[in-house]
Each structure stands twice: as C-alpha cells, then as structure tokens.
Structure 1
Amino acid sequence: HAIPHMKKAGGGSIINLSSIYGLIGAPDAPPYHASKGAVRLMTKTDAMLYAPDNIRVNSVHPGFIWTPMVENHLKTTGQDLEAAKQATAALHPLGHMGEPNDIAWGIVFLASDESKFMTGSELVIDGGYTAH
C-alpha cells in the first residue's frame, strides 16, 4: 500500500527485518529460518524493482537481542535461564547479546539520507555471530 505514496513523494526507504538466520542455518525452527531467508531475497528483488522510483529497500539481520522472544526461546532449552543467557552471549565474539537499541540505530541509519547509496543491502547487527 505504501509504494504508490512513495513513488508520488519521489522515493523513500523500505527496511525489512530479517535475522542472522536469514543468512546462516541452524538445526532448529526450520519455518523461522525459511521465512527469514525469504525476507532477505524479497528485499533484494524489491530493491531492483523499485530502484527506478528512488525507493531503497534494505534488510536488517539481528543476532541474539535480549528481548522477550529470545528469553522465551532460552527458557525452552531446559537450562537455568541465566546459564542459557550466558551460553548464548558467549556465542558472540563481542561476548554479549545485543539490546533493542542496537537494532533501532541501524534502522535509523537505513531510513536516513546517510544511507542514500544503499539498496538491496543486508545490515548485519550481530556482535560478530556470523563472522565465525
């Protein structure tokens, strides 16, 4: 619904939220991984489709961010929550999970003119998780 309005306005920025699991695989939650991979490729397709209209389309790929979703996921592991949180934090080269503001600032950047030459890009905000 927004595309006609963005075209009329002369362009804009669409930011899709994917996940590190849109980039790499893992042995759990196949539907989640498939949907996040689909968001990644939809972003690239839409970036090419709408570039002539000056509409940029990018995706954000968060790592483990301490949110209710991650907390609930860790509770299902059967471990003590604090132990599961520490084990998950240790998977990140930076040694900790992210916070919602870490993702928000990436989105602000993609929405701004500071990223005016970015389209079809994947902004990975994951504390280095996908670097290994």
Structure 2
Amino acid sequence: MPVATYGLVALDCPDPRSLAEFYRGVLGGEVRNDYPDWYDLYAPGGARIAFQKAPDHRPPEWPRGDRNSQQEHLDLDVTDIERAQQEVLTLGATPLDLDDRGGERPFRVYADPAGHPFCLCWH
C-alpha cells in the first residue's frame, strides 16, 4: 500500500505568474491563482505544476553537478522536435544542450525563463 499519492511538482521562481504562463504556452491547460505568490497550471491529462515565488531564487548552473546541481527538471514528450523547439524558444526558453551529436539521443535540453532545465523528448 502506498504512503502517498502524487499531487504536483512545485517550482521556485521570481515571477510565478509569468512562469505559469510560459508552461501553459508549452503544455496547454488552465492557470489558477488561489494563494498569494502561488500559481497552479492544471495541464491536460491531469498533471499539475505549481509555481511559488522565491525572491532570492538562483537558477541552477546546468550541467554542473558540484556546487549547483540541476535541482530538478521536467521531461516533456513531443512528436515533432523541430516544431516544439521553435515554439518553446518563441515562448522564452533558452537552449542549453541541443544535441550536437546529430540526433544521437532522444532529447534536447532548455531552460525556462526562470532558469529551470527541461527536456523536450521524442521516441
């Protein structure tokens, strides 16, 4: 018997509303603000991501694993990597590792506007 059930992933950031809107642009869904300094994205399919104000937030220094690890990252499945890449870049993502090995691996790494790494993955 499990101890708990999955609720959400919460990301610290300096501007929770704008980061929630970034991910709404990537995933779709509805953004809600039920608490001060806290926004929720209810994505299609039932996933929930929360964005919490952290005025002193320091983004991780990807891909360093010593002093500042990546802390967390989201894997987002896509069917057309080129189209998805253009869309996340237009929404404000920053490329971190676009796989310069000629498509050898099934993902590319970006940072969201608050600096959190995330991957677009295809199979």
Same fold by TM (over 0.5)? no
Instruction: Give the TM-score, by structure 2 length.
Output: 0.30
Q: Which structure dedicates a bigger proportion of its chain to helix?
A: 1
Instruction: Give the TM-score, by structure 1 length.
Output: 0.28
